Amino acid sequence: MMVFVSGAARSGKSEAAEICAIRLSRGGRLHYIATAQAMDEEMTERIRRHQERRAAQAAHWTVWEAPFSSQEIAASLHPDDVVLLDCLTTWLAHELFFGENWKTDATAQAVACRMLDEVRAWADACRAVVIVSNELFAGGVPDDPGTFRYMKTLGLLHQQLVAEAAAAAVVECGLLRVKKGRWPG
């Protein structure tokens, strides 16, 4: 099963996704795929706050830090486990911009297909995958080709994952609004 959670930056989506994953786990192991990398002080602080919040929860998380091996993750999963991917937008940015993958629609689409296959493999190997992603580019179409290709690729990933998800929600100002299905828990 897949569950999709989106929202703007600092909307509360990660915390909502963590609560969802804990509820879905029903005693199974929890895996946290953290895609952010501490490249500046602000990101270092955000990562620290996420780590502290997870440490304060009653649940124990196995954390996979970016960059990660998706094959290693899939091989370690059991049918009762729950995976939380936080977040799809950062993972896509790494895949597109740490190389030349952003330069053509074909290479960006190949990245998206590979990412979808990886998420599906995790979902097939465990009870649930909870996916966190940002809502970006509501203000219009960006001018530069790299950002535009990223926006298009992210939009296609969102559409495909939400189509396959059992539930999807948007978090705004800390409030969860279910857009599809029944929210777990």
13 is in an annotated binding site: yes
The structure tokens listed for 61 are: 């998380």
CATH code, 79: 3.40.50.300
Domain membership flag for residue 185: no
pLDDT mean values, one per 10 residues, the chain (185 residues): 94 93 90 82 76 70 78 90 95 89 91 95 96 84 87 95 98 96 89
Identity of residue 139: G
Please give the Cα distance from 121 to 116 (Å, whole number): 9
Cα 136 to Cα 8: distance, rounded to the nearest angstrom: 7
Whether 112 maps to a domain, the answer reads yes
According to the annotation, is 7 in a ligand binding site?
Answer: yes
For residue 51, give its domain range: 2-180
Tally the domains of the chain: 1
pLDDT at 101: 84
The letter for the amino acid at 173 is: C
CB–CB of 140/134 below 8 Å? no
Q: Which residues are catalytic?
A: 50
Q: Is residue 93 part of a domain?
A: yes
Q: Would you say residue 70 lies in a domain? A: yes
- In this structure, is residue 120 part of a structural domain? yes
Q: Is 99 annotated as a binding residue?
A: no
